[in-house]
Amino acid sequence: MAKVMIIGVGGVGSVVAHKCVRLPKVFTEIILASRTKSKCDTLAKQLGRKVTTAQVDADNVPQLTKLLKTHKPQLVINVALPYQDLHIMDACLAAGVNYLDTANYEPPDTARFEYKWQWAYHDRFKQAGLMALLGSGFDPGVTSVFCTYLQKHLIPSIKRIDIIDCNAGNHGQPFATNFNPEINIREVTAKGRYWKRGTWVETAPLSVKTPFKMPDKLGSLNIYLMYHEELESLATHIKGLQQARFWMSFSDNYLKHLEVLGNVGMTRIDPVNFNGVEIIPLQFLKALLPDPASLGPLTTGKTCIGCQVRGKDTNGNDTVAFIYNVCDHEDCYREVKSQAISYTTGVPAMIGAKLMLTGKWSGAGVFNMEQFDPDPFMDDLNHYGLPWKILKREVFRK
């Protein structure tokens, strides 16, 4: 018996809500809260089960605290934007509510992806006897659980991890992003960074590229080295890790548009005076681009996200495995009216919430996904729409 509050009803929030309503024994009561209440009401009508809706500006801590104290949920599922993370954690502490998110905090004025701000809440959550689970999406999220699953069952001594995120889908738009455009473009235009023998190595944005042949006859794509937040938590929690890198696929068309937008200053995140009004060019660009939620009915093809892990097996021999999920954009749309990027994020958020509420993952403090037993999460991925496979061979060399 648990009441949850889902904050944010964009692409990801919609999937979380669709998945939670189907598990009434776990999520007995659901509150949808977001900045624009009409979007909560529209979503509520699609869900086929009665849910409560509420307006909230999650950056307004007293307002959110009051809402939490009124409804008394056991858990907040934060699928608003990374800028809200700390404010929502503050409100959860003030109201005595557990917390889960899918993306680490980012300060609005600098594109910095670090866990330090949220890890600093550990003692306060611990003292309050509350749990915060960080990064329960696909990447971060499932990718970390994939690694700990291999560590538990196949490769106890992990030396190298390559996370590979491929989207072989097509939405037919000249230029669009698959999740919030502002967050997506900040991430993609940031410097690349990877973990090597105890230090971080930086690369110019999208300067390291290599072809990748996806399994299951999905074809080949160019993948690019990027920084991604789970590298930081994996480097912290996987002892003996020597190298961890993150790669993402981009089409030439996407990169061509991004380069031009960058060259003309449209991806800037500092304020610019326009006709006496301060605007942030990237926020203005977001207003012009297609809403990722509108891509659902248009997108065809599949995503393939996985981790190639190298290390020593239980006998001390060198070994390598690739663990991955393939997700079909059209199947996702048929099931929950969203494309696969929102689906692959929303399903793990629901699963993380389920494991917290059923006590399978528990603790007081702030935790990352690597810190828990991967088995129940992996079982639920198979059960709730994100089945995975393991290939006991090398699929990628660079």
Please count the other Cβ atoms lying within 10 Å of the Cβ belonging to residue 280.
16
Q: How far is it, in rounded angstroms, from Cα 116 to Cα 374?
A: 24
Give 275-283 contacts, CB < 8 A, sequence gap 24+: 282/182, 282/185, 282/186, 283/182
Integer-rounded Cα Rg, in Å, for the chain is 20
**Count of residues that bind ligand NDP according to CB under 6 A:** 34
- Check residue 103 for interaction with ligand NDP (CB under 6 A): yes
Residue nearest to ligand NDP (CB): 10
Q: How far is it, in rounded angstroms, from Cα 206 to Cα 188?
A: 8
Pairing of strands 209-213, 220-226: antiparallel
Q: How many helices (H) and strands (E) does the chain have?
A: 14, 18
Binding residue (CB under 6 A) for ligand NDP from 118, 233, 319, 345: 345
Q: How far is it, in rounded angstroms, from Cα 388 to Cα 381?
A: 8
Q: What is the smallest separation between the CB atom of 99 and ligand NDP, expressed in angstroms? A: 14
CA-closest candidate to residue 50, choices 69, 33, 28, 83:
28
Q: How far is it, in rounded angstroms, from Cα 118 to Cα 250?
A: 30
Q: What is the smallest separation between the CB atom of 219 and ligand NDP, expressed in angstroms? A: 22
Collapsing DSSP states into helix, strand and coil, what is residue 198? Answer: coil
Q: What is the smallest separation between the CB atom of 72 and ligand NDP, expressed in angstroms? A: 19
Q: How far is it, in rounded angstroms, from Cα 347 to Cα 31?
A: 18
Q: Which residue has the tokens 């994939």?
A: 146
Binding residue (CB under 6 A) for ligand NDP from 6, 34, 115, 356: 34
Going residue by residue from 283 to 322, which x/- string records binding to ligand NDP, judged by CB under 6 A?
Answer: ---------xx-----------------------------
- Check residue 89 for interaction with ligand NDP (CB under 6 A): no
Q: Name the one range near ligand NDP by CB under 6 A: 74-82, 193-201, 351-359, 380-388.
A: 74-82
- Check residue 82 for interaction with ligand NDP (CB under 6 A): yes
What part of residues 188-217 is at the interface with ligand NDP (CB under 6 A)? none
What is residue 154's DSSP assignment?
Answer: T
- Check residue 169 for interaction with ligand NDP (CB under 6 A): no
Q: Which is nearer to ligand NDP, 54 or 128 (CB)?
A: 54
- Check residue 375 for interaction with ligand NDP (CB under 6 A): no
Q: How far is it, in rounded angstroms, from Cα 279 to Cα 372?
A: 43
Q: Which is nearer to ligand NDP, 32 or 241 (CB)?
A: 32
Q: What is the smallest separation between the CB atom of 374 and ligand NDP, expressed in angstroms? A: 17
Binding residue (CB under 6 A) for ligand NDP from 113, 119, 121, 179: 179
What part of residues 121-140 is at the interface with ligand NDP (CB under 6 A)? 137-140
Q: Which is nearer to ligand NDP, 308 or 344 (CB)?
A: 344
Q: Which residue has the tokens 């106890």?
A: 156
Q: Which is nearer to ligand NDP, 281 or 346 (CB)?
A: 346
Binding residue (CB under 6 A) for ligand NDP from 2, 4, 6, 9: 9
Binding residue (CB under 6 A) for ligand NDP from 4, 81, 133, 154: 81
Q: Which is nearer to ligand NDP, 180 or 319 (CB)?
A: 180
Residue 232: which H helix or E strand, with range?
Answer: helix 230-237
Q: What is the smallest separation between the CB atom of 138 and ligand NDP, expressed in angstroms? A: 4
The phi, psi pair for 243, rounded to 5°, reads: -150, 140
- Check residue 10 for interaction with ligand NDP (CB under 6 A): yes
Q: Is the dihedral of CA 342, 346, 349, 355 positive or negative?
A: negative
Residue 78: which H helix or E strand, with range?
Answer: strand 75-78
Site residues (CB under 6 A) for ligand NDP?
7-13, 34-36, 39, 56-59, 79-82, 84, 102-103, 137-141, 179-180, 183, 292-293, 341, 345
